[in-house]
Amino acid sequence: MSKLILTNVSKSYGPTRAFKNGDFALEAGEVHALMGTNGSGKSTLCKIIAGSVKPDTGTVTLDGKQVNINSPQDARALGIGIFYQELSLATNRSIAENILISQVPLQFGLFVNRAALRKRADQYIDLVRDVAGEGFHADAVVANLRSDQRQLVEILKALATEAGILIFDEPTSALDRVQVKRFFEILEKLKGEGRAMIMISHRMDEIFEISDRLTVICDGAIVATRKREETSPKDIVELMVGGRSTLADDDGPQLRTSSIKEDKPLLSVKGMRGAGFQNISFTLKGGEILGLGGLHGQGQSAVLRALFGAAPIHSGELYLKEEIYRAGHQRRAIRKGLAYVSGDRVRDGVIHGRPIQENTVPIHAFRQYLFLTSFGDLSPKLEGALAKLSTKFEALTSSIDSLSGGNQQKVVIARWLIDKPEVLFLDDPTKGIDLAAKADLFALIRELAEEGLGIILYSSEDAELLNNSDRILVFNGGSITRELAGDERTRFNLYDAAYEVAS
């Protein structure tokens, strides 16, 4: 009998429907994989089950009884445990305390029973002790652990809830092969105990190794649920593509034809390694729009930030216009003609509470070594840059906070247009901005490429990538796993590559 059943569950954020048509069943004693591209609704579904998102409609039944999950506490009380992808450990505390953080054994209901704590923690630690490597014991402080060891602690923490239903969101991203094998052995044992697991992963091979059933989610709707024996990776990818064409908008621009004029590389990267990516090699030519694709958080953003000098590069060679380029500092990058636009404009872009003119001028002022900023003389330049994106604003002296999100992002981009850069890095630049602003932005990007700029575009919206890139590098687990060019730029190939076996 089914353990957890969601019937007709939906969730909207304003006009956007994050999840609809949610009929989902989780059986006792199975590992159930959720498959879908960026923004398809996998996370929303997990959050609904874990109680951190409340659905607008629908019912949830657990073991035949209807339940209300209104908070993470409710979920825990009902026996639902979750593994968090974003590490949620108390880094200055021991492994034992982290594993048992929600059920610390107490004496007299008040004092921590250290001996019992260690003993209980050891039961879980023993599950992975021989594969965890050095220094993995109950008293070890989490801050001193490697990333794979921290992920093991997260897994043990989820196991220690002894919940009947466990949700694992990318639990193996930092683990090595042996550790993954052990983790799967543990899951097999839990299956035998009749517990149910939901798993999200970007490694198709692992999904086919461990899961009993797979559910494909596409645009917030559950498309199909298949038994593992009755399906194949190709089948799953086709389900994810659904009936959608390669282009997001059939009336919109067609697949891009390249505007590369010169054959000399503008930027070339060889064997670059850093936090969150490794073995990155590619070249970018003037006039080219190079897309970075794949599931969210596979190192695309980390590579762009590292190239711009916002994060360290551990090894590798970089050449800018065939000269050696040492990344490592934003100011050097800007002087060399690199530009970076972050999708997180609130954190990385907008200078809040200041006028539009002050938000437009900084790159120009920096590159021209300005000392005085007499906006009377500068305003034609600023207005010219803002007009290229048809930015709507009242006056240059109005506060940037008076603009809509799309217009704020336009101001941040306009910064880079007064003195033209050579290479433009776009790190998911359209996140959370309206459709009209997106259209303006991509029109500009194509125009800049015509003018000879080299552009690297990472987008979590696959249609944007497919419509605007000359080539697409697909990322998986911090590496480039496939390059799509010409007619290969299809949704099928993109999803197939995104879920490709990590080598």
Partner 1 sequence: MKNLFVMSPSELIKQPLFVAFVLIVILLAVGEILSPGFTSLDQIIRLATVAALLGIVAAGQNLVILGGREGIDLSVGAVVSLSVIVAGNLMDGMNINIPLAFVLTIVTGAFFGFLNGVGVTLLRIPPLVMTLGMLGVIQGLLVVIRQGVPSGVAAPALADFVSEPFVFGLPGILWLWVGIGCFMAWLLRQTLFGLRIYAIGSNEQAAVMAGVPVRTVRIAVYTLSGVFAALAGICLLGYSGASFANVGSQYMLTSIIAVVFGGTSLAGGKGEYTGTMLGAILLVILQSILTTVNIDEFGRQIIFGGTLLVLMVFYGRGKGLRA
Please give the residue ranges that form the binding site for partner 1 (CB under 8 A): 308, 310, 330-331, 334, 340, 342, 347-354, 358, 361-363, 365-367, 370-374, 415
> Between residues 351 and 501, which has the closer beta carbon with respect to partner 1?
351
Q: Residue 366: what are its φ and ψ, rounded to 5°?
A: -70, -45
- Closer by beta carbon to partner 1, 10 or else 430: 430
Buried b (16+ CB within 10 A) or exposed e, 120-154: bbbebbebbeebbbeebebebebeebeebbbbbbb
Spatial separation of the C-alpha atoms in residues 197 and 165, rounded to whole Å: 6
Burial class (CB in 10 A: 0-12, 13-18, 19+), 100: buried
CB of 166 to partner 1, least distance (A): 35
Provide the minimum distance between the beta carbon of 358 and partner 1 in the complex, in angstroms, as a whole number: 5
Indicate the residue among 65 and 347 with the shorter CB distance to partner 1: 347
Residue number with CB closer to partner 1 (57 or 368): 368
Shortest gap between Cβ of 329 and partner 1 (angstroms)? 9
Q: How far is the CB of 441 from partner 1 (least distance, A)?
A: 18
Strand partners, 277: 274
We find the least distance from the C-beta atom of residue 331 to partner 1, in angstroms, to be 5
CA torsion 359-364-367-370 (nearest 10°) is: -90
CA distance 284 to 493: 21
For residues 132 and 412, which CB has a smaller minimum distance to partner 1 in the complex?
A: 412
CB of 80 closer than 8 Å to CB of 163: yes
- Which residue, 173 or 430, has its beta carbon nearer to partner 1? 430
Torsion angle of C-alpha atoms 175, 177, 180, 182, degrees rounded to 10: -120
CB of 362 to partner 1, least distance (A): 4
Interior angle at CA 441, CA 437 and CA 447, nearest 5: 150
Beta strand spans in 228-299 (E)? 265-274, 277-285, 289-293
Closest approach of partner 1 to the CB of residue 373, in Å: 5
CB of 311 to partner 1, least distance (A): 12
Judge contact between 200 and 34, C-beta under 8 A. yes
| Residues whose CB falls within 8 Å of the CB of residue 212, separated by 6 or more in sequence, listed in order | 27, 30, 31, 32, 191, 227, 228
Closer residue to partner 1 (CB): 367 or 446: 367
Determine whether 19 is exposed, middle or buried from the number of CB atoms within 10 Å of its CB (0-12, 13-18, 19+): buried
360 or 469: CB nearest partner 1 = 360
